[in-house]
Amino acid sequence: MKQYVCSICGYIYDEEKNGRWEDLPDDWKCPICRAGKDAFRLKEQKTEDAAKLPKPEVERELSPMEMSIICSNLARGCEKQYLPEQSEDFKKLAEFFRSKAKPIEETGTEELLALVNKDLEERYPYGNAVAGREHDRGALRALTWSEKVTRMLQSLLARYEAEGDKMLENTCVYICSVCGFVYVGDEPPTLCPVCKVPAWKFEKAEGRTN
């Protein structure tokens, strides 16, 4: 019998205890993080040697929106390290770059999924290879967390493509304020499946108003 591992929270689905994987319905969800079946991998499955992958495009000038995102993340990082002045400075930089960013029109789930898949197939393997080669434990941890969050986004986008707005009917969306994990459900999880912070660290996402 086979075992399948959730690439987001690490939950193991054991066919010997729970039945054949193929017999699960297509809309089955991980009981811990609610990721779809597409987020699971065979436990024995080997990953491709990341060091042999081509180097992603990294040597270019970042766009204002990319700079805004980076500064926003740094602001949150400084906040978690109790550096309020630096956090405020990065927030101002994030707002400045955001004001210079050009709006992106006609962006749907197909375009978002393409970007997410590119990150998972090319950029994360390369980043992990470099961090591993340099023995950078901090970078490896950050990559591990963000890759799990990205895989959850991939699962949610794929589910939204299949279900449409029905996916969000009579339920809520919660975002972990520490790692960015997105959870769809009535209440946030007791612990974040990625970074293990308690439920009160989750923020409820509100829909946009016209």
Give residue 103's pLDDT band: very low, low, confident or very high (50, 70, 90).
confident
pLDDT score, position 4: 93
Is 93 a domain residue?
A: yes
Are residues 7 and 42 both part of a single domain? yes
Residue 209 predicted with pLDDT over 50: no
Q: Which of 205, 189, 199, 202 is nearest to 8 (CA)?
A: 189
Q: What CATH number does residue 2 fall under?
A: 2.20.28.10
Percentage of the chain exceeding pLDDT 90: 48
Q: Both 3 and 39 in a single domain?
A: yes
33 found inside a domain: yes
Q: How far apart are CA 149 and CA 176, in angstroms?
A: 10
Distance, C-alpha 45 to centroid of its chain: 21
Asked if residue 198 is part of any domain, the answer here is: yes
Enclosing H/E stretch for 76? helix 64-80
Whether the CB-CB separation of 205 and 174 falls below 8 Å is answered with yes
- Report the domain count for the chain: 3
What average pLDDT does the segment 199-210 reach?
79
- Asked if residue 14 is part of any domain, the answer here is yes
Mean pLDDT calculated for residue range 82-90: 96
Q: Which domain holds residue 75?
A: 64-100
Strand pairing partners for 29? Answer: 36
Amino acid at 116: V
Mean per-residue pLDDT over the chain, rounded: 87
- The string of pLDDT tens digits covering residues 24-75 is 998 899 998 988 898 898 886 555 555 566 677 667 788 999 999 999 989 9
Q: What count of residues does the chain have?
A: 210
